[in-house]
Amino acid sequence: MHFHESLEAAARRNQSWLCVGLDPEPARMPDHLSADAEGIYAFCAAIMDATADLVCAFKPNVAFFEAHGAAGWSALERLIRRCPGPPIILDAKRGDISSTAEAYARSVFTTLGADAVTLNPYLGSDALEPFLRHADRGCFILCKTSNPGSHDLQETRLADGRPLYLAVAEMARDRWNTHGNVGLVVGATHPAALADIRRACPDMLILAPGIGAQGGDLEASVRAAAAGGDPRLIVTVSRAVLYAERGMNFAAAARTAARQLRDAINAAL
């Protein structure tokens, strides 16, 4: 099944445009779980099982697994293969050249079996092409990221007055989306940029991190980026769900937080 089809099926089934990010920090996990690869696997598996009927996707961040070496990589692979339904967007931010990009694409889509991936466009089209040619997988291009330092480069004004992030969005729309599998990463911490990008790219999926711990306003973000009856907007939240409670009932608390967020997104829509 094409990534967009599996995403939309999960969104309809669960009445949800919420994506839960899986960023397991051992120091913040429940005390009864070990701080090693098995601990983060058990933690993330419990979160997935508790929230699978409330989300449209899960988004594991590779860094938190790679930090545990080979065992962490194995834990990530196992999590992806046991995912209870919603598609997996791998937050890897890959972007390299030639045979390196080819190897990264094989790693993400063939070895790990992820349904979609985040990509850094800074190296240009040839760095993206090995991923883009997987027409059945999603490719989310970093456009206007949620971190405070995003303005250092992404808001640079070009000769025609456009900010760089808008040029990236238009390039993704006009040059990179030949298979219809490209989306954009736009931080919920920048509602004005969200609105600019949605006007330029009315039909493209937007993955919007930054709600919750990073201070993004959910209602303002949805209002800025939703595209009519089909919102084309994935709101991704990590810490507010993962660490809703630190005790034995952490998974139940995560479920409650995810349900509240899903309902808030739907209310804003």
For 51-97, give the DSSP string. Answer: HTTT-SEEEEBHHHHHTTHHHHHHHHHHHHHH--SS-BEEEEEE---
Out of 2, 93, 151, 239, which one is annotated catalytic? 93
Residue 15 · residue 231 · CB < 8 Å: no
Give dist(CA 10, CA 25) in Å, integer.
Answer: 27
Give dist(CA 7, CA 268) in Å, integer.
Answer: 20
Residue 139 · residue 185 · CB < 8 Å: no
> Annotated catalytic, 144?
no
Give dist(CA 118, CA 93) in Å, integer.
Answer: 5
Partner residues linked to 144 by β-bridges: 186
Q: Which residues are catalytic?
A: 93
